[in-house]
Amino acid sequence: MSGMADGKSADKCARHVAIIMDGNGRWAQLRGRPRLFGHRAGAKRVREIVEACPDLGVEYLTIFAFSTENWKRTQTEVSGLMSLFKHYILKEARSLAEAGVCVRFIGDRHRLEPKLVTLMGELEQITQDNTRVNLTIALNYGGRDEVARAVKRMALDIEAGKICAQDVSENTLTRYLDTHVLPDPDLVIRTSGEARVSNFLLWQAAYSEYEFVKTLWPDFTREIFAQIVGDFAHRDRRFGAVKS
């Protein structure tokens, strides 16, 4: 993306940043409030981070909003989160569209309530021609689930004679993933001090750099984001090769 504020060379930029937004529950607990209070505060952080992307050379931002494992939380928390997602889309759709953000969702939509799925589709549709920032929201997403769904679709195409089993390669499978239009993430950030991958972008992040920060997601600011993305430029990425 052109127009980077500090003139950093584009090849050193984190073109695609993915974030595991962790720590909402603890943030709320520290304030003696229910967990949903933390999730609402977390949702408010998203806009600031999306807005910071163009100046930092970040073209793609992918955020983990709800995992395939998050259904194990209490019914109150799960339904509160689902309401929050609907509310977020209704409230933010217009400003995201006007800010030039192209929004996509990844994950399995089948288990989500129809009203939410409709809102997700509408937001994707009204923002599909935008190019300033690509925001991907992972909702009912799990890396293993995504690969299993991709393999299933690919197997059906093999069965139907559309592709030949002998021709299957890494690239073939990549095309069946939810993320098929996205580049692999350069950098994955996880907040709240936990150093785990938690089933996020398992295939895509094979060569990503990871940054684990102690900050809880509702306290994550544009400045912290800029610092991490800036530091990324100094990392030595070899993709399995030897440094020349």
- Contact residues for ligand FPP (CB under 6 A)? 21-26, 39, 42-43, 46, 63, 65, 70, 84-85, 88, 137, 192, 217
The C-alpha atoms of residue 124 and residue 135 are separated, in whole angstroms, by 10
Least distance in Å: CB of 194 to ligand FPP?
7
Is there a catalytic annotation at residue 22?
Answer: yes
Dist. CA 205–CA 237, nearest whole Å:
13
Cβ(85)–Cβ(116) under 8 Å?
Answer: yes
Q: What's the closest the beta carbon of residue 46 comes to ligand FPP, in angstroms?
A: 5
Between 72 and 243, whose beta carbon lies closer to ligand FPP?
A: 72
55 is catalytic: no
**Nearest residue to ligand FPP on Cβ basis:** 25
Candidates 54, 56, 46; CA nearest to 19 is: 46
> Of the residues 55, 70, 157, 184, which is catalytic?
70
Residue 48 CB, shortest distance to ligand FPP, in Å, is 12
Rounded to the nearest whole angstrom, what is the least distance from the CB of residue 21 to ligand FPP in the complex?
Answer: 4
- Kindly name the residue from 6, 11, 22, 219 that is annotated as catalytic: 22
Say what the alpha-carbon torsion angle 60, 229, 93, 81 is, to the nearest 10 degrees. 100
Nearer to ligand FPP, 17 or 63 (CB): 63
Nearest to 24 by CA among 221, 218, 220: 218
Task: Report how far residue 212's alpha carbon sits from residue 33's, in angstroms, rounded to the nearest whole number.
Answer: 25
Region of residue 14 (left: phi > 0; alpha: psi -120 to 50; beta: else): beta
Task: Report the residue number, 13 or 20, with the smaller CB distance to ligand FPP.
Answer: 20
Nearer to ligand FPP, 24 or 127 (CB): 24
Residue 47 CB coordination number (10 Å): 15
- CB 28 → ligand FPP: shortest distance, Å? 8
Nearest-10 Cα torsion for 101, 115, 85, 175: -50
Closest among 198, 103, 84 to 141, alpha carbons compared: 198
Choice between 85 and 232, CB closer to ligand FPP: 85
Q: List, by residue number, the catalytic residues.
A: 22, 70
